[in-house]
Amino acid sequence: MAQYRLTRLVRSTSSEIYLVWREEQRIGQLDIHYADAVIHASLILEVELSDDDAQDLYAQMDEDIASSYAPSFDREDFIVTVFRGEEVLSFSYPPPGEAPEEP
């Protein structure tokens, strides 16, 4: 069974964003949204996972994150949509008064 580390980047009243790590390698990002009794998640994987490893990751996401919001017996559903992708760019506006960095 593979163990994953889920590192929270952002938390609001109705959503969270996590980086997904396997050992020292970032393998994906999880965006999770809480809508009353239903939890929706988008998982972007940067690597191929075996079916068993993917099931382990889903179980860990449920246990570590979703169940802390609403235990499985107290929610209607936990819906996870999985995508394959890679990070190609990260963009952020500079703080007011600062010039943008040159590429």
Residue 30: predicted pLDDT? 97
Cα–Cα distance, 36 to 30 (Å, whole number): 19
For residue 1, pLDDT over 60 is answered with no
Can you list the positions of beta strands (E) in the chain? 5-11, 15-22, 25-35, 38-45, 77-84
Residue 31: predicted pLDDT? 98
- pTM score, two decimals? 0.83
Residue 103: predicted pLDDT? 65
pLDDT tens for each residue of 45-99 = 999 999 999 999 999 999 998 888 877 777 889 899 999 999 898 888 888 888 7
Q: Any idea what DSSP says for residue 74?
A: G
Tokens 């075996």 belong to which residue? 50
